[in-house]
Amino acid sequence: MTLKLHCFGESGNAYKAALALELSGLDWEPVYVDFFGGEARSQEYRAKNIMGEVPMLEDGDIRLCQSGVIQQYVTDKSGKLGGAPSDKYEVLRWVLWDNHKNSSQTGITRFLLNFLPEDKRPQEAINFLQGRLKAVYATLDAHLEGRDWLVGDAITNADIANCGYLFYPEPFGFERKEWANIDRWLTNIQQTPGWKAPYDLMPGSPADRA
């Protein structure tokens, strides 16, 4: 049975789920959600997902939201991207760190700078978030010193979670060239067979709404 991922290209959280599915080798297809048109807040969508969140994975009668949960489901179903058994909790630690410290702040900063009209952008909040993100990227870069991957010796959900927003072209304060270890790590991910950029993997992009 083909898994269906309800997603849209601009979402870094959806990208984490889509990339995990793509690299796992599972049979899946993207289902476009018109997020900016309010589809995720519609009664029809909320009937399937009370949280009104994107991404959402459907596998028969199973419906899951939250990117980290979907990534774990993909691992449980495919046997891939979980790392060695002894690395289970270290992978989980980095997925949760991303969800709370990295993507949560990167996502909102990118949204404020690129998807709000310029006169509606709260500059003080943006400055505050970008200051916090420098500390996040410093932590990530330091951990990657001498490492090819965040955990173990192959790509895992830890890598997929933490790279989720870092491949997007829109400016939000992250300059890849400024972080040598992150840059090398992102190159490793890009060279993984099956890797695709966000707008090549999921439908929907800013150009479609221009």
User: SS3 sequence, 147-166?
Assistant: CCCCCCCCCCHHHHHHHCCC
Same domain, residue pair 23 and 109: no
Q: Do residues 109 and 162 both lie within one domain?
A: yes
CATH number at residue 32: 3.40.30.10
What's residue 1's pLDDT?
Answer: 85
pTM for this prediction: 0.96
The pLDDT of 129-140, averaged and rounded, is 97
Place of tokens 């009668």: 61
Residues 35 and 125 reside in one and the same domain: no
183 lies in the same domain as 98? yes
Of 147, 136, 166, 184, the closest CA to residue 19 belongs to 166
The pLDDT > 90 percentage for the chain reads 97
DSSP 87: G
pLDDT of res. 208: 84
Q: Taking residues 142-156, what's their average pLDDT?
A: 98
Question: What pLDDT, on the 0 to 100 scale, is given for residue 4?
Answer: 98
For the chain, percent of residues with pLDDT exceeding 70: 100
* Residues 109 and 180 placed together within one structural domain of the fold: yes
Alpha helices in 99-179 (DSSP H): 103-114, 123-143, 157-163
Residue-wise pLDDT for 88-115, tens only, equals 999 999 999 999 999 999 999 999 999 9
Of 67, 8, 13, 12, nearest to 37 by C-alpha is: 8
Q: Are residues 77 and 89 both part of a single domain?
A: no
Domain that holds residue 61: 3-81+196-209
Q: Are residues 124 and 147 in the same domain?
A: yes
Tell me, yes or no, whether 72 and 111 share the same domain: no
The structural domain count of the chain equals 2
Same-domain status, 11 and 23: yes
Shared domain for 62 and 18, answered yes or no, is yes
**CA distances in angstroms from 92 to 15, 70, 141, listed in the order given:** 18, 13, 19
Q: Kindly tell me if the per-residue pLDDT of 77 is higher than 90.
A: yes
34 plus 89 within the same structural domain: no
One domain, residues 109 and 158? yes
